[in-house]
């Protein structure tokens, strides 16, 4: 999907009608729109967002509060009683669907009344058109069409402000990564289908009431568990929502503290951030060691129980060897063969019940051990390492426990340092700061409580599911006994099979997508980052926490510079785009804004490669574009310059360098 052109009419500083054609050439897939700060780059990104989604998400605080969408000079010069409107039109083509044409149009109007007061329309108007055959038809389900091209939840990974990218991994990062992965891969769709199919199964089951006391009894149990399951799910949803709210309130408070005019407050907040990042790292490491201890117990535990038997077997084998019973002088099979043949090797007849036969039979008893001799010897070599393994086990466990206690010690130290930071913040003689800190601490306590509650609910849901599976099998067995319920039983079977399959697919997709995004992010990050000897890998764990590991094996996301975090975010977004399957265009405002001069080049060189199949539009300042123009030139299809004329409150779009 490519944007052919963006038309702006009286939209913010774009006075009159301005048309910007974007490059639709696959080999030169980049369009660069260059302009000084304030010339209208971010507002062109806003125009795209506003047109398609009805919201301008990249407005500065000033614009959001003061400036109307309609060009202010046009509004000023509007004659009394007249109307004017701002309009943004986006024309797109879908190359993968025979160049099918789409057009989206959003406008908003205003009128100057007799007193000279401007009255704005309450809502904007939106129209979408699609090519069907040779005709262009207006689309009724506009939201559905937009969702097909680029759903609202995913758009921030396609249209974004490069300067704000480093914030992506600062706060609530695991929640953001999780949301991004779920959004781009339509995993919510699978969740909703599973939830609805489960409810349908439950209502079908209700149809078979009264068949037999046993069926009724199982039904009652299922109903009770389902009721509990539903309320647990609902409770979990509510708690998750509350948790999200609390986290965003905490983020807001912390950013207020960080932006505070008192330098001591700013310093304390920065200190807290770095302490909390270290605390998170320690807790992660403690978790990993605990897992290792459990794994060791599971592996060695059964061997510990067997140890007396193992020791006894080794003693017995050694004793037999001492007595000379192993290895045996003569093989059991050989003596047995002589007896069966009835003739000794010396020629003596052994058929009759004579002395020779008696001797051979005695020899056979002694040689019996030879049959399993090889296994006994082998066993000795298996048993001895087991004994050593058990001896080593307690040593290893002690080392691991010691590691935990030293980490716990450090954790407690950090916790008391955090407490100290909080006490100092509360003690600052500014009422607002004290109140913010008190509220923050209350919110943190609530957050901890909610995390615990959600964990308990998860366990409760898992147990209920297990019980339901068991009862469903019992019910199916009962229903199978009655011909009357053949169809109902079949329906339940089909639904259960589908539910199981969708559950498996969901889990597989979650794992696959997370792994693919992790591998791609790692690949891109390590190629883009300039400190190649510092960083080793990028990991996205099962809780969607993202970690950057340095060559010494330590987590260092918290210590990345703003530019490095921006590179990590760019890598992650490129990976998400690739995995998402959405063929939407990419628009980046100030992509190299925070990147230092010498590293802009490597990004300019590699980014087009990562985004090679997409139409890319870059809004750049002169400082960003000039150092990389030569490197980008082979991929740039169109170049523009935004020229702002303050006297006319107007931005013109000119070919670059004109």
Partner 1 sequence: MATPRLRVSKKILEEINAQIEDEIVREFAKSLLQFELENWRIEKLHFKDFFTDQLTIYCRRRMQKL
- Piece of the chain touching partner 1 by CB under 8 A; list 18-26, 193-201, 429-437, 526-534: 193-201
Cα separation of 36 and 486, whole Å? 74
Least distance between partner 1 and beta carbon 468 (Å): 18
> Does residue 95 bind partner 1 (CB under 8 A)?
no
> Does residue 119 bind partner 1 (CB under 8 A)?
no
**In the chain, what is the straight-line distance between the N-terminal and C-terminal CA atoms, in Å?**
30
Which residue's CB is nearer to partner 1, number 189 or number 315?
189
- Piece of the chain touching partner 1 by CB under 8 A; list 18-26, 142-150, 209-217, 549-557: 142-150
Which residue's CB is nearer to partner 1, number 11 or number 129?
129
Which residues in 513-552 contact partner 1 (CB under 8 A)?
513
> Does residue 304 bind partner 1 (CB under 8 A)?
no
Least distance between partner 1 and beta carbon 196 (Å): 4
Give residues with Cβ within 8 angstroms of 160, minimum separation 6. 573, 587, 588, 589
Least distance between partner 1 and beta carbon 146 (Å): 9
> Does residue 185 bind partner 1 (CB under 8 A)?
yes
**Does residue 52 contact residue 146 with C-beta atoms inside 8 Å?**
yes
Structure token digits, residue 93: 């083509």
Cα separation of 349 and 323, whole Å? 32
Among 147, 248, 439, 442, binds partner 1 (CB under 8 A): 147
Among 55, 76, 83, 199, binds partner 1 (CB under 8 A): 199
> Does residue 196 bind partner 1 (CB under 8 A)?
yes
Least distance between partner 1 and beta carbon 617 (Å): 24
Among 124, 296, 434, 498, binds partner 1 (CB under 8 A): 498
Q: What angle do CA 99, 652, 73 make, to 5 degrees?
A: 115
Least distance between partner 1 and beta carbon 103 (Å): 13
Which residues in 573-612 contact partner 1 (CB under 8 A)?
579, 581
- Piece of the chain touching partner 1 by CB under 8 A; list 138-146, 281-289, 391-399, 452-460: 138-146
> Does residue 463 bind partner 1 (CB under 8 A)?
no
Which residue's CB is nearer to partner 1, number 27 or number 203?
203
Cα separation of 636 and 628, whole Å? 11
Neighbour tally for 300: CB within 10 Å: 18
Cα separation of 649 and 71, whole Å? 8
> Does residue 238 bind partner 1 (CB under 8 A)?
no
> Does residue 476 bind partner 1 (CB under 8 A)?
no
How many residues in the shown chain lie near partner 1 by CB under 8 A? Answer: 41
Among 354, 497, 559, 596, binds partner 1 (CB under 8 A): 497
Least distance between partner 1 and beta carbon 199 (Å): 7
Among 4, 186, 389, 397, binds partner 1 (CB under 8 A): 186
Least distance between partner 1 and beta carbon 143 (Å): 6
CA dihedral 484, 485, 490, 492 (to 10 degrees): 170
Among 118, 197, 461, 539, binds partner 1 (CB under 8 A): 197
Give residues with Cβ within 8 angstroms of 644, minimum separation 6. 13, 35, 36, 38, 39, 40, 650, 651
Least distance between partner 1 and beta carbon 535 (Å): 29
Cα separation of 178 and 157, whole Å? 13
Q: Is the dihedral of CA 373, 374, 377, 378 positive or negative?
A: negative
Cα separation of 336 and 237, whole Å? 76
Give residues with Cβ within 8 angstroms of 549, minimum separation 6. 535, 536, 537, 538, 539, 555, 556
List residues bridging with 275 in a β-sheet: none
**Residue 470 to residues 474, 482, 500, 631, Cα–Cα distance (Å):** 6, 20, 14, 63
> Does residue 487 bind partner 1 (CB under 8 A)?
yes
Which residue's CB is nearer to partner 1, number 553 or number 581?
581
Cα separation of 393 and 228, whole Å? 43
Buried b (16+ CB within 10 A) or exposed e, 517-551: bbebbbebbebbbbeeeebbebebeeebbbbbbee
- Piece of the chain touching partner 1 by CB under 8 A; list 141-149, 256-264, 541-549, 604-612: 141-149
Q: Is the dihedral of CA 560, 563, 567, 569 positive or negative?
A: positive
Least distance between partner 1 and beta carbon 513 (Å): 8
Which residue's CB is nearer to partner 1, number 337 or number 490?
490
Cα separation of 325 and 333, whole Å? 16
> Does residue 144 bind partner 1 (CB under 8 A)?
yes
> Does residue 192 bind partner 1 (CB under 8 A)?
yes
- Piece of the chain touching partner 1 by CB under 8 A; list 36-44, 130-138, 226-234, 589-597: 130-138
**Does residue 162 contact residue 591 with C-beta atoms inside 8 Å?**
yes
Tell me how long the chain is: 658
Among 70, 130, 275, 425, binds partner 1 (CB under 8 A): 130
Among 454, 502, 556, 631, binds partner 1 (CB under 8 A): 502
- Piece of the chain touching partner 1 by CB under 8 A; list 28-36, 344-352, 493-501, 633-641: 493-501
Structure token digits, residue 46: 């806003």
Residues lying near partner 1 in the complex (CB under 8 A) are found at 130, 132, 137-141, 143-145, 147-148, 185-186, 189-190, 192-193, 196-197, 199-200, 203-204, 486-487, 490-491, 494-495, 497-498, 501-502, 504-505, 508-509, 513, 579, 581
């Amino acid at each position: 999907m490519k944007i052919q052109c963006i038309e702006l009419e009286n939209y913010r500083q774009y006075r009159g009608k301005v048309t910007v054609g974007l490059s639709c050439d696959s080999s030169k897939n980049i369009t660069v729109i260059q302009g000084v700060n304030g010339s209208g780059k971010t507002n062109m990104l806003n125009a795209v967002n506003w047109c398609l989604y009805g919201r301008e998400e990249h407005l500065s605080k000033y614009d959001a509060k003061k400036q109307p969408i309609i060009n202010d000079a046009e509004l000023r010069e509007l004659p009394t009683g007249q109307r004017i409107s701002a309009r943004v039109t986006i024309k797109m083509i879908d190359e993968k669907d025979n160049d099918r044409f789409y057009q989206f149009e959003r406008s908003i109007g205003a009128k100057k009344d007799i007193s000279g007061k401007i009255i704005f329309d309450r809502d904007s108007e939106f129209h979408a058109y699609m090519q069907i055959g040779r005709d262009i038809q207006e689309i009724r389900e506009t939201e559905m069409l937009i969702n097909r091209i680029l759903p609202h939840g995913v758009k921030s990974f396609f249209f974004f402000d490069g300067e704000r990218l480093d914030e992506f991994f600062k706060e609530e990062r695991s929640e953001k990564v999780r949301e991004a992965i779920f959004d781009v891969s339509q995993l919510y769709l699978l969740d909703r289908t599973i939830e609805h199919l489960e409810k349908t199964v439950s209502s079908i089951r209700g149809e078979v009431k009264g068949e037999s006391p046993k069926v009724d009894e199982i039904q009652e149990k299922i109903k009770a568990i389902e009721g509990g399951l539903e309320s647990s799910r609902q409770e979990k949803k509510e708690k998750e929502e509350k948790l999200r709210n609390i986290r965003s309130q905490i983020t807001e408070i912390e950013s207020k503290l960080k932006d505070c005019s008192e330098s001591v407050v700013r310093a304390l907040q920065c200190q807290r951030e770095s302490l909390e990042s270290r605390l998170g790292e320690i807790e992660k490491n403690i978790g990993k060691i605990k897992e290792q201890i459990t794994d060791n117990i599971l592996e060695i535990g059964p061997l510990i129980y067997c140890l007396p038997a193992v020791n006894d077997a080794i003693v017995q084998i050694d004793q037999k060897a001492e007595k000379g019973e192993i290895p045996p002088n003569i093989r059991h099979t050989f003596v047995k063969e002589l007896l069966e043949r009835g003739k000794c090797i010396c020629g003596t007849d052994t058929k009759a019940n004579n002395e020779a036969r008696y001797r051979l039979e005695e020899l056979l008893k002694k040689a019996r051990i030879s049959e399993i001799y090889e296994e006994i010897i082998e066993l000795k070599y298996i048993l001895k390492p087991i004994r050593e393994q058990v001896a080593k086990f307690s040593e290893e466990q002690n080392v691991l426990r010691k590691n935990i206690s030293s980490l716990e010690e450090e954790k407690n130290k950090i916790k008391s340092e955090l407490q100290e930071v909080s006490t100092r913040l509360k003690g600052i003689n500014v009422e607002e700061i004290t109140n913010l800190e008190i509220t923050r601490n209350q919110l943190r306590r609530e957050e901890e409580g909610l995390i615990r509650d959600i964990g308990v609910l998860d366990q409760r849901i898992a147990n209920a599911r297990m019980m339901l599976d068991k009862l469903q099998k019992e019910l199916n067995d009962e229903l199978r006994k009655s011909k009357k319920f053949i169809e109902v039983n079949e329906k339940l079977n089909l639904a259960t099979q589908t539910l199981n399959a969708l559950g498996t697919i969901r889990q597989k997709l979650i794992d696959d997508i997370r792994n693919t995004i992790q591998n791609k992010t790692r690949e891109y990050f390590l190629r883009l980052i300039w400190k190649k000897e510092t960083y080793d890998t990028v990991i996205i764990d099962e809780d969607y926490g993202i970690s950057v590991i340095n060559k010494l094996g330590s987590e260092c996301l918290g210590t990345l510079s703003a530019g490095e975090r921006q590179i990590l975010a760019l890598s992650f977004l490129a990976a998400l785009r690739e995995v998402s399957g959405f063929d939407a265009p990419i628009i980046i405002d100030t992509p190299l804004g925070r990147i230092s001069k010498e590293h802009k080049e490597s990004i300019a060189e590699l980014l087009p490669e990562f985004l090679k199949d997409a139409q890319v539009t870059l809004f750049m300042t002169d400082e960003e574009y000039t150092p990389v123009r030569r490197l980008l030139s082979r991929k740039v299809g169109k170049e523009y310059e935004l020229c702002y004329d303050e006297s006319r409150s107007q931005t013109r779009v000119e070919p670059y360098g004109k």
